[in-house]
Amino acid sequence: MLQRTPLFEKHVASGARMVEFGGWEMPVQYSGIIDEHNAVRQGVGMFDISHMGRLMVRGPQAEEYLQNLVTCDVASIPLGQSNYGLLCRPDGGIVDDIFIYHLPDEFLVVINASNREKDWQWLHAHTEGFDVEIVSRSDRWAMLAVQGPGAEELMIRAEESGAGSLGAMPFHGVALSSLFGYTTMVSRTGYTGEDGFELFFDAVHAEEFWDKLVGLGATPCGLGARDSLRFEPCLALYGHEIGDDINPYEARLGWVVKLDKGEFVGREALAAIKAAGVSRRLTGFELVGKGVARGDYPVHALDGEPIGFVTTGMPAPTVGRPLGMAYVPTSLSAEGSEFDVIIRGKPVRARAVKMPFYKPQYKK
């Protein structure tokens, strides 16, 4: 059976089209993907992301434990801040991409919905030698993302105090607040390429939060718009741009690998990969010929040789043309390089273009 978030009944009552995603029954759209995409780019949209995993890492050696397990420098994350990181295998493959929030006396780790069980096992498999405790909050808390240029104003209005403290929250900041009379952890994070906030609160209040945020002007959005929104700024999605058989340097995520911070799982392999260089690389492309590239479509060299695959492709709503990301040989990853995407059995010419397709509008 598919799992459901605390907002499942609300989604159905709102007329959302429900689909399977990572073992969950989730809304793919309400009014329409383009409408919802534009609502986030131009105003404020809201996503139910309660299917994602939320784990508390605590104990005297919580920081040392995470430092040994993730690619980013956990020791450099100030209290009240968060950072993006990767869990990597000893061979450098990506177990998952995660967000780490530095809270008083503990860390919150947010993981992908499809990897909740895998990550739970991975984290526990590496606790030996560390005085650390891992506690799940995935079922106890709901999680919403409020995203778009209008998110800050909406969140200020939602604050019980009306003091506007959330407006002053820095990029990647995290703090406790009071929204609609309930204690809420709020972070200035998101995965749409826009300014925005993510909210963590007791799941029993999920429907009330949803209704009140809609009442303040937030547009309900589904997974379809979430995908198109993260695609335009070229933000990686597990199972598409990243996975167990893909390393960070291939995925253009070398910036989140801090080799000089000390030992961590995968460091030796990643150092060797960086020194040798990668043979393939994630590359943005536009279609020169007619068609729309989709995930898993084959990529061929101009002589017909199979050389790679599309990770994500679609007509980008904000940019206004069909674009995609694909893994191709490094020699074909430079802007202007050409190759063919095989669409319905026929080669369609594509040209490598600069990434990202849309410049993120984060408030920094």
Q: What is the pLDDT of residues 79-97, one digit of tens each?
A: 999 999 999 999 999 999 9
Token pair of 192 as six digits: 């749409």
Q: Which domain holds residue 73?
A: 54-136
Residue entry with tokens 């990597």: 88
Which contiguous run of DSSP H or E holds residue 80?
none
- Residue 364's pLDDT band (boundaries 50, 70, 90)? confident
Reported pTM: 0.96
Domain assignment present for residue 268? The answer is no
Separation CA 180–CA 209 (nearest Å) = 8
CA angle 176, 11, 223 (to 5 degrees): 80
CA atoms within 13 A on the CB side of 222: 24
The residue among 13, 34, 33, 16 whose CA lies nearest residue 25 is: 16
Token pair of 323 as six digits: 């674009």
Question: Is the pLDDT at 147 greater than 90, yes or no?
Answer: yes
Return the pLDDT at 165.
84
Mean pLDDT across the stretch 267-275?
A: 98
20 and 121 share one domain: no
Question: Is the pLDDT at 109 greater than 70, yes or no?
Answer: yes
Separation CA 180–CA 169 (nearest Å) = 18
Name residues whose C-beta falls within 8 Å of residue 341's C-beta, 6 or more positions apart in sequence. Answer: 285, 287, 291, 293, 297, 298, 299, 300, 310, 313, 324, 326, 347, 348, 350
Question: Is the pLDDT at 268 greater than 70, yes or no?
Answer: yes
Question: Is the pLDDT at 161 greater than 80, yes or no?
Answer: no
The residue among 141, 143, 175, 172 whose CA lies nearest residue 159 is: 175
Domain assignment present for residue 222? The answer is yes
The residue among 299, 306, 359, 301 whose CA lies nearest residue 325 is: 299
132 and 148 share one domain: no
Q: CB atoms < 10 A from the CB of 49, how many?
A: 20
302 and 291 share one domain: yes
Domain assignment present for residue 361? The answer is no
Domain assignment present for residue 236? The answer is no
Which contiguous run of DSSP H or E holds residue 314?
strand 306-316
Token pair of 181 as six digits: 């009379």
Question: Is the pLDDT at 163 greater than 90, yes or no?
Answer: no
Question: Which CATH number fits the domain that encloses residue 198?
Answer: 3.30.1360.120
Separation CA 326–CA 316 (nearest Å) = 15
Question: Which CATH number fits the domain that encloses residue 300?
Answer: 2.40.30.110
Separation CA 244–CA 250 (nearest Å) = 12
Residues 3-49 pLDDT 10s: 999 999 999 999 999 999 999 999 999 999 999 999 999 999 999 99
Question: Is the pLDDT at 164 greater than 70, yes or no?
Answer: no
Mean pLDDT across the stretch 213-230?
A: 98
Separation CA 173–CA 196 (nearest Å) = 11
157 and 46 share one domain: yes
Domain assignment present for residue 363? The answer is no
189 and 129 share one domain: no
Question: Which CATH number fits the domain that encloses residue 108?
Answer: 3.30.70.1400
Last residue of a domain, one of 136, 156, 184: 136
Domain assignment present for residue 308? The answer is yes
Number of domains observed in the structure of the chain: 3
Domain assignment present for residue 48? The answer is yes
Question: Is the pLDDT at 235 greater than 90, yes or no?
Answer: yes
3-state secondary structure of 276: helix
Return the pLDDT at 201.
98
- Alpha carbon distances (Å) from 87 to 23, 80, 161: 21, 22, 38
Say what percent of the chain tops pLDDT 90.
Answer: 97
Separation CA 120–CA 118 (nearest Å) = 5
